[in-house]
Structures are given as C-alpha cells and as structure tokens.
Amino acid sequence: MIKQHVHNDMAMKEQACPDSVREILSAPARQQARKTIVQWPGYQPTKLQSLQAFALELGVEALYYKDESTRFELSSFKALGGAYAVQVMLRDAIKRSIGSDVTLEDIGYARYREQASQITVVAATDGNHGRSVAWGAQRFGCNCVIYMHNQVSIGRQEAVEALGARVCRVQGNYDDSVHAAAADAQLHDWHVVSDTSWPGYMDIPRDVMAGYTVMTAEVMEQWPLEELPTHVFIQGGCGGLAGAVCLDLWCRCGVDMPKFIVVEPEAAACLYESARAGEPRMVDITVESLMGGLSCGAMSLLAWPVLKLAVNDFLTISDDPVGPLMRRLAREESIVAGESAVAGLAGLIETCKSKDRYAQLELSPTSRVLVFGTEGATDPEVYHQLIG
Ligand SMILES: Cc1ncc(COP(=O)(O)O)c(C=O)c1O
C-alpha cells in the first residue's frame, strides 16, 4: 500500500541534464568505473527482463526489470559500488605511500599485495554494501572490518565473514552503525568506504555511485524498444543508488529524460521527508522495514542535488506487498528477487491501483517503465521463509 506521496515541484522536466548535476559524477569517472569493472573476473551484464504480463495488467505498454540477482557472486547491484571504491581507495593510498604511479589495473591484479596488507577498510552495512567492500578487500588484499546493527540477520553476517572480514555488531540502527564505523576508523587510522556521504566525506561515496552506473549503462545498451523509457521507479535507501541511476540515465536520455519516481519503506523515508522539506532531512528509524537494504534514516548528501532536480515523485510503501510480490516473481517469471529488490516494482503496482495516482504520475497505456531488481536471495534463509 502507498503510505505517502509527494510531488516534487523542483524537478526539471524535458530538459538536458544541467552541469550542476553532471559534475557530481563526471562522464570520465563513470567511464573509468565501467572500464575497470568489466575487467573483473566473472563480469557479465545482468539480464533486462520483460514483464509483459505485469505490463498488460497495469495498463502500460511495456515493463522491464533489470535483474541484479546474478551480479557476480554477490547477487546484488552493490557488488559494483563498494568493491570498486575499495580498488580506487587502495590505488590512491598506495600511490601516496610509495610516491610513484599506481594504476587501478595494478590493484585489480593485486600487484601491491604487501602494501595493501597494511591497509584496513571499514564500512557500515545492512548487508549488501558490507559484502561488496569485504569482497573487494579480499580480492585486492587489504583487511576489512564491517559494522552491522543488531537487526541484520546472522546469514548476512556469515556471508561477510566468509569473505574474510571481521564483523562488529552495533546497538541501534543503520545510522548508528555508520557513526560507529566512522568513529573507530578515526581511532585506528582505517579507511572508511561508505555508500553514504556527509559533509567533508564525498569522494569515496562518489566512486561507489560511479560503480553503480555500470548497471544503467548496461540497461541502455539492452533496452530493446525504439523509444526510451518514460518512467523509472527506483527504490531508495540512503539515495546513492537513486542518485546514480537518475544522473546516468538523465545524461544519456537528455531532453527525453524519463520521469523518475523514488520508492522507500514508510519506516525509513528520509528521501521523501527531504523532498517534502525541500532540503535534506533525517528520520529516526524505530521500526526496521522488511526491506532491510532500504532502512536508512539519513540521506547521502551527494545524492540530494541530483534527486532534487531529477525526481518527479517520492512514494513510501508499507511492507505488505513485498512477500507476495517476491512469490509472484518467483512463480510466474522465475525471478529470484530479495526483499529490497521489489520496492520499485511494488511502488508501480500500488500506483496503478489508483486511477488518480496513475494519472498524477502521468502513466498511460503508452508508458514504457523500467524498474531495478536490485538483489536476489542475498540471505537465502530469509528468502525461503518469505517465499514459502
Ligand atoms: C538490494 C538493495 N537495493 C537498494 C538499496 C538502496 O541503495 P541506497 O542505499 O544507495 O539508496 C540497497 C542498499 O543497501 C540494497 O541493498
């Protein structure tokens, strides 16, 4: 069920992406990320799947689902961000320490394992980002400590530990784990590799977002229709994903930009609240949403200038449609979609249940909608419980 909805009057319509937005993630930064990530062992573009039966039922012309459940061995788009940022951070740190040139390729081939082994990366996570950072640390040869609040499942902890990282449990919620990671990093001289940004800490989250744009680059190459998507429903946690998706698609589509709609859990609606206030706002998370990956109370400051100008509507949803939708995707489309994967699609489905909202979001029988299935069964036990 849609719980809240705000239309964003600041959003630009049918205009080329302004320089103020482009500069947040430059084209060379996005290209560098792609060039690097496609060289990682096992790289394969993930599938863009047509959900034609859903499209018919919802009253739109086409619906495409970018299925991230097969993204490397991590089964989520997050594999693209954290691990890439670890690679960039190691290049820069080792370059500074040895005083000569080091390339991303050098780090990719672990040519400075000795120097990397002296470095520790640290991140806070609801599961997927920490796993990506741990995976990068393991491949590139540095140490890794991951902070998790105590509602994150044991399965997710074990997945991170299996990649050689040490896990620290933190009382409180995701935002508390972000603070604990940053404070301990300062104490021990560790390198924070966060997917969210704050004043004075933007460079690494920018690399994380650059990694995510590999996914949107793939989508635009795979898009099978002559005409571009008209609507993109994208789920929001701290907003890094939505920021990267909006920015990259806006740059690629120009004046034919789609309408962007952000969907969040009602229990963690920091992007919705920011849109309502016209400036970044935090929310205090008191109840953990089933969509654990989206359970963030503080938005990434780097994403705000993008979202403010790109996103037409911000929606929040309850947890109720999540399990049934995961089951339906498994049964009818053979898609393995985790709890946080289906929020964008659920936002679309719930929108189409109301004639008024369908019209407000300018949906029509000629709409071509794109959604991102951002994870597969990232915790198999939770997934099987929900699927039944
Ligand atoms: C599966 C999944 N989808 C979406 C998101 C949201 O990404 P962001 O926090 O960058 O908004 C996350 C975040 O962890 C996630 O794990």
Task: Summarize pLDDT for 269-316 with one digit per residue, the tens.
Answer: 999 999 999 999 999 999 999 999 999 999 999 999 999 999 999 999
Mean pLDDT across 308-326: 98
* Same domain assignment for residues 271 and 351: yes
* Same domain assignment for residues 277 and 356: yes
Q: Which two tokens stand for residue 83?
A: 């691990």
Q: How confident is the model at residue 375 (pLDDT cuts 50, 70, 90)?
A: very high
The residue whose CA has the least distance to atom 16 of ligand 1 is: 293
Q: Which two tokens stand for residue 277?
A: 């206030």
Question: Could you read off the pLDDT of 114-139 as tens digits, one per residue?
Answer: 999 999 999 999 999 999 999 999 99
* Same domain assignment for residues 57 and 160: no
* Same domain assignment for residues 236 and 336: yes
Q: Any idea what the CATH number is for the domain that residue 100 is in?
A: 3.40.50.1100
Mean confidence (pLDDT) of the chain: 97
* Same domain assignment for residues 250 and 124: no
Q: How many domains does the chain have?
A: 2
* Same domain assignment for residues 241 and 327: yes
* Same domain assignment for residues 370 and 243: yes
Q: What per-residue confidence (pLDDT) applies to 388?
A: 86
* Same domain assignment for residues 71 and 107: no
Q: Which residue has the tokens 């049964």?
A: 331
Which of 172, 194, 216 is the last residue in one of the domains?
194
Instruction: Say how many Å lie between the CA of residue 280 and the centre of ligand 1.
Output: 18
In a domain, 260, yes or no: yes
Check pocket membership of 69 for ligand 1, CB cut-off 6 A: no
* Same domain assignment for residues 73 and 40: yes
Check pocket membership of 126 for ligand 1, CB cut-off 6 A: yes
**Do the strands 143-149 and 166-170 form a parallel or antiparallel pair, or are they unpaired?**
parallel
Judge whether residue 253 has pLDDT over 90.
Answer: yes
Check pocket membership of 156 for ligand 1, CB cut-off 6 A: no
In a domain, 199, yes or no: no
* Same domain assignment for residues 125 and 218: no
Check pocket membership of 131 for ligand 1, CB cut-off 6 A: no
Dihedral-angle region of residue 228 (phi above 0 means left; psi in -120 to 50 means alpha; beta otherwise): beta
Question: Could you read off the pLDDT of 135-157 as tens digits, one per residue?
Answer: 999 999 999 999 999 999 999 99
Q: Give the residue numbers spanning the domain of 143.
A: 82-194
Which atom of ligand 1 approaches the CA of 128 most closely? 16
| Residues taking part in catalysis | 78, 126
